[in-house]
Amino acid sequence: MANKLVSTPRNRKKTEKKAGNLLLWSIIVLVLIIALLGGVYLFLCVRVPEGRLLDHTYMNDVDVSGMTAEEANAALQADFTGRFQNSTVSVGLDGEDYVVSLWTEDGSILYLDTSDAVSKAMEHGHGQFLTRGLDWLSTQAEPRKLTVTPSIQGGDALKDAILATGIDQVDTAVETTYSIEDDRITIQKGSAGVVADVDALQGQILTAFTSDPWAVNYTIDAATTVSDIAALDVQKIYDEVYTEPANATLDPENDYAIVPSVTGVSFDPDAAKSALESAEPGSEVTIELVYTQPEIDTEHLEANLFKDVLGSYSTNVSGSSGRRSNVKLAAQFCDGTILLPGETFSYNDTVGQRTKARGFSEAPAYQNGQTIQEVGGGICQVSSTLYAACLYSNLEITERTNHSFASSYIGLGMDATVSWGGPDYKFTNDTPYPIKVVGSYSSGKVTMSIYGTKTDDITVKITSETLETIPYSTKKEHDSSLGDGETKVITTPYTGYKVQTYRKLYDGDGNLISTEKEAYSYYRARDKVIAYG
């Protein structure tokens, strides 16, 4: 029969004691393990380095393990520079690519702000002391990978980078052109095109970057706006083409050589603008030139220059040799004077100051109603003779003054007195051709003529009407130097007159065309003074 274990009080106590010892050792071991693990964990918490990132920390795939914040920032910026320093946007426009550089040293377009990200990364493992071990263990179990996304700015720097490509200068519009030919202007009307919209292009670049900020290079087509056809300055063309017709004339600066005539050129600018505006883009517009021939062309002037005597007048010269010499010299000064159309002749300017150094002599002349000896006396006969020649040439008289007393060498109302610094005689060439004054003195006669080009068959007749005759008185004065009954005229008398002259024009058939008042002349009377003994 098998033996049976019998539970006794003693056995039960042994068993309970053994079990108690086992539990105690178990607790002791557990405490030791916990203490060991706690010690190890505390060691880990202590082991985490202050101010440095935990091992197995990566930012933008850059291993920043164990780095300080400053070192991490520098490493990230270096990586950013390496990746993006050649970042560009290729912008297509009209078949050409314009490369916009997004990289600037100062980061005014692309930039990477790492300071906040690095600061947050540094918080991992550097928080509460008892959590540092867990943070360290987590990076050992799985590397910590963080991303800092690049940013882009769309301000002036980006706009400047776009403008630097020259894309803003592109205009696909076809310019309107023109050419000037013999009898016309041919205008080739252009067509509208497109130009880059720089502001919209900035937006396109920002959008492309936002959609993929890690792309280094982008390719886009430029946003554009319509470019109108550049307006053609018709007035500028008109100013270029327009030529005023000009008659052939003479050049006083080149010994009066003939200056060739000019044919006028013009067109209707308003009609040209209207035709251009209504024309289709790309079409051709023709503007006819209008040529205007001058009234006097070069050949005509050469053939007709000074060929006609427009008017001539002669007066007999009397008096002293000095007076006759003065008349001859004054006629010589006038001889050969040429006046272009519109120019005015001045007798004083032409003859000049009357001085002995210039060859003039003393001769009788009037001054304040008295007869005196004056250098240049008598030259009024030349101005009066020239005045008459101008009247018969049907020229415009600009300035004329009659003498104080009636002249013996020319009819009433036909004289023209002159004085240096005083009255002048002037006339204007109001013909379309140059005229020439021809003066001569021969056999006691002075002749003044106007040579030019006759343009009509008009003849001139000068008539005078004596409105009033003013008789002179005779006065007697005693002169003790004279003998008893002896007399002597000491003042020559002059009868006074009020005279109106008329210029009458007749056609080739002798018919009176017009009668115009020419000049009013007032001649004073001078009393006769007789001395007696």
Please check whether residue 42 lies inside any domain of the structure.
Answer: no
* Residue 119, token pair as written in the block: 């600061």
pLDDT category at 368 given cuts 50, 70, 90 is low
State pLDDT tens for residues 17-33. 777 777 778 777 776 67
pLDDT at site 511: 97
Residues 135 and 277 in one domain: no
Please check whether residue 446 lies inside any domain of the structure.
Answer: yes
pLDDT at site 220: 94
Averaged over 161-165, what is the pLDDT?
Answer: 94
Using the structure block, give the residue that is written with the tokens 């080149």. Answer: 254
Higher pLDDT, 300 or 131: 300
Nearest residue to 148 (alpha-carbon basis) of 101, 109, 108, 111: 111
pLDDT at site 54: 81
**Average pLDDT of the residues of the chain:** 89
State pLDDT tens for residues 12-70. 777 777 777 777 787 777 766 766 655 555 554 555 567 788 888 898 989 988 889 89
Residues 257 and 326 in one domain: no
Contact 433, 414 (CB under 8 A): no
Helix, strand, or coil here: 117? helix
Averaged over 338-353, what is the pLDDT?
Answer: 98
Contact 333, 385 (CB under 8 A): no
Q: Has residue 294 got a pLDDT over 90?
A: yes
Residues 310 and 450 in one domain: yes
Contact 74, 159 (CB under 8 A): no
Distance CA 140, CA 125 (A): 12
Residues 63 and 99 in one domain: yes
Q: Has residue 421 got a pLDDT over 60?
A: yes
Q: Has residue 243 got a pLDDT over 90?
A: yes
Using the structure block, give the residue that is written with the tokens 């503007």. Answer: 287
Please check whether residue 112 lies inside any domain of the structure.
Answer: yes
pLDDT at site 37: 56
Helix, strand, or coil here: 207? helix
DSSP-assigned beta bridge partners for residue 288: 184
Give the range among 8-17, 208-217, 292-301 with minimum mean pLDDT: 8-17
Torsion of CA 125, 130, 133, 134, to 10 degrees: -80
Give the range among 26-30, 259-263, 264-268 with minimum mean pLDDT: 26-30
Distance CA 208, CA 206 (A): 6
Please check whether residue 191 lies inside any domain of the structure.
Answer: no
CATH number for the domain that contains residue 527: 2.20.230
Q: Has residue 127 got a pLDDT over 60?
A: no
State pLDDT tens for residues 487-508. 999 888 999 999 999 999 999 9
pLDDT at site 1: 47
Residues 254 and 374 in one domain: no
pLDDT at site 400: 98
CB atoms within 10 A of CB 133: 19
pLDDT above 90 as % of the chain: 69
Indicate the residue among 274, 300, 326 that finishes a domain: 300
> What are the helix (H) ranges across 98-244?
115-123, 132-141, 156-164, 198-211, 234-241
Phi, psi of 354 (to 5 degrees): -90, 105
Question: HSE of 441 in the Cβ direction (CA atoms, 13 Å)?
Answer: 19
**Range of 151's domain?**
57-168
Higher pLDDT, 128 or 150: 150
Contact 117, 148 (CB under 8 A): yes
**How far is the CA of 95 from the CAs of 90, 170, 222, 469, in angstroms?**
12, 11, 11, 102
* Residue 419, token pair as written in the block: 């004085």
DSSP-assigned beta bridge partners for residue 338: 436
Residues 139 and 273 in one domain: no
Contact 295, 432 (CB under 8 A): yes
Long-range contacts of 388-391 (CB under 8 A, 24+ apart): 388/313, 388/315, 388/414, 388/448, 388/462, 389/311, 389/312, 389/313, 389/448, 389/449, 389/450, 390/311, 390/427, 390/450, 391/311, 391/460, 391/462, 391/503, 391/518
CB atoms within 10 A of CB 149: 10
* Residue 74, token pair as written in the block: 């520098």
Residues 474 and 461 in one domain: yes
Residues 332 and 393 in one domain: yes
Indicate the residue among 414, 438, 455 that finishes a domain: 455
Higher pLDDT, 12 or 185: 185
Model pTM score? 0.63
Contacts of 231 (CB under 8 A, 6+ apart): 176
Residues 310 and 440 in one domain: yes
Please check whether residue 77 lies inside any domain of the structure.
Answer: yes
Contact 352, 329 (CB under 8 A): no
Contact 289, 265 (CB under 8 A): yes
Please check whether residue 5 lies inside any domain of the structure.
Answer: no
Residues 253 and 311 in one domain: no
Distance CA 298, CA 262 (A): 9
Amino acid occupying residue 51: G
- The structural domain count of the chain equals 4
Amino acid occupying residue 297: D
Residues 350 and 442 in one domain: yes
Please check whether residue 215 lies inside any domain of the structure.
Answer: no
Residues 78 and 137 in one domain: yes
* Residue 334, token pair as written in the block: 């006038």
Give the strand order in the sheet containing 512-523.
459-470, 496-506, 512-523
Indicate the residue among 277, 300, 323 that finishes a domain: 300
What are the b/e assignments for 274-290, b being 16+ CB within 10 Å? Answer: ebbeeeeeeeebebeee
Helix, strand, or coil here: 498? strand
pLDDT at site 9: 67
Q: Has residue 406 got a pLDDT over 60?
A: yes
Q: Which 3-state string (H, E, C) describes 399-462?
A: ECCCCCCCCCCCCCCCCCCCCCCCCCCEEECCCCCCEEEEEEEECCEEEEEEEECCCCCCEEEE
